[in-house]
């Protein structure tokens, strides 16, 4: 039986990473957990986010994954190192891939980062960026209003651009050429964000670089899937299953048509 790649997030945000993995590694089986019953994580204390992450990982480990992908910046910031030490399979997060993509992209040596309160407060991006390029200037901003907008499914409404503009306002007067979407929910808002920041600022999602990292690690471990059969993915959510399903199907679009997904609900930590 094929061992899956396990992906987790506080809700639908990790689907931005899952979609990219489906595109780059179409033979891989995914097992996804979105903790929609307890989202958002961004305003919760670090200790609680750490506990929730552990609970989800323990749930996912039942399915014997070959790798864990913490597709949530907030959880990556507080729980990546501990999870790496606790498990004997590769565990990756989304902060370093996002930082790498930004360093590749910036020409002005000034990088903006937006994320949840937890991610920004942790300083994880600043550390990751300066580890790669010590002279980089980092401007960080917490945008707590954006995740609830995505989880509500109302991110295509006409008022969305106004909410995004309000959230990004402090950054608009700063000379940036690239802005890291330091929350996996934010690519859902790519269109209004582009309209707000204008054509001179590149928006960096960590999804693409994270999928590439997964591919590289599995290749080096000789663990890439080789099968003639299309994988059957399992997607779990802990809250409103219908809402999760509708947002996921809409987001996955074309990728979805070539995939078989079994949708389930599961509660963890009760």
Interacting residues toward ligand DGL by CB under 6 A: 9-11, 13, 39-42, 72-74, 116, 119, 147, 183-185
Q: Residue for token digits 């690519």?
A: 187
Alpha-carbon span 188 to 141, nearest angstrom:
18
For the bound state, the minimum distance from the C-beta of residue 135 to ligand DGL, rounded and expressed in Å, comes to 27
Active site residue 178: no
Catalytic residue among 17, 49, 57, 72: 72
Question: Cβ contacts of residue 230 below 8 Å, gap of 6+?
Answer: 26, 27, 258, 259, 260
Our CB check for ligand DGL shows the closer of 149 and 231 to be: 149
Our CB check for ligand DGL shows the closer of 205 and 231 to be: 205
Alpha-carbon span 68 to 53, nearest angstrom:
11
For the bound state, the minimum distance from the C-beta of residue 16 to ligand DGL, rounded and expressed in Å, comes to 9
Active site residue 72: yes
Q: Helix, strand, coil shares of the chain as percentages rounded to 5?
A: 45, 20, 35
For the bound state, the minimum distance from the C-beta of residue 182 to ligand DGL, rounded and expressed in Å, comes to 7
The 3-state DSSP class for residue 46 equals helix
Catalytic residue among 70, 77, 129, 183: 183
Our CB check for ligand DGL shows the closer of 12 and 218 to be: 12
What's phi and psi for 7, nearest 5 deg? -125, 135
Q: Which of 25, 16, 31 is nearest to 258 (CA)?
A: 25
Our CB check for ligand DGL shows the closer of 12 and 231 to be: 12
For the bound state, the minimum distance from the C-beta of residue 257 to ligand DGL, rounded and expressed in Å, comes to 25
Alpha-carbon span 199 to 161, nearest angstrom:
16
Catalytic residue ranges: 72, 183
């Amino acid at each position: 039986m094929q061992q899956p790649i396990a992906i987790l997030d506080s809700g639908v945000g990790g689907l931005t990473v899952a979609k990219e993995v489906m595109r780059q590694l179409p033979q891989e089986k995914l097992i996804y957990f979105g903790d929609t019953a307890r989202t958002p994580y961004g305003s919760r204390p670090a200790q609680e986010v750490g506990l929730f992450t552990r609970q989800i990982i323990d749930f996912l480990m039942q399915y014997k994954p070959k790798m864990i992908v913490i597709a949530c910046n907030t959880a990556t910031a507080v729980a990546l190192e501990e999870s790496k030490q606790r498990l004997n399979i590769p565990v990756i997060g989304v902060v370093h891939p996002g930082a790498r993509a930004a360093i590749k992209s910036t020409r002005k040596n000034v990088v903006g980062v937006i994320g949840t309160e937890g991610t920004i407060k942790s300083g994880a991006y600043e550390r990751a960026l300066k580890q790669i390029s010590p002279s980089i200037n980092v401007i960080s901003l917490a945008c707590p209003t954006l995740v609830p907008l995505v989880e509500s499914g109302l991110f295509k409404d006409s008022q969305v651009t106004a909410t995004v503009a309000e959230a990004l306002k402090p950054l608009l007067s700063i000379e940036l050429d690239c802005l890291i979407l330091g929350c996996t929910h934010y690519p859902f808002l790519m269109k209004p964000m582009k309209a707000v920041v204008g054509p001179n600022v590149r928006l960096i999602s960590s999804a693409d670089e994270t999928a590439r990292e997964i591919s590289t690690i599995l290749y080096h471990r000789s663990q890439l899937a080789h099968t003639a059969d299309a994988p059957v993915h399992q997607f779990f959510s802990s809250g409103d299953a219908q809402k999760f399903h509708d947002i996921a199907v809409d987001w996955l679009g074309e990728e979805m048509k070539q995939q078989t997904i079994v949708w389930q609900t599961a509660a963890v930590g009760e």
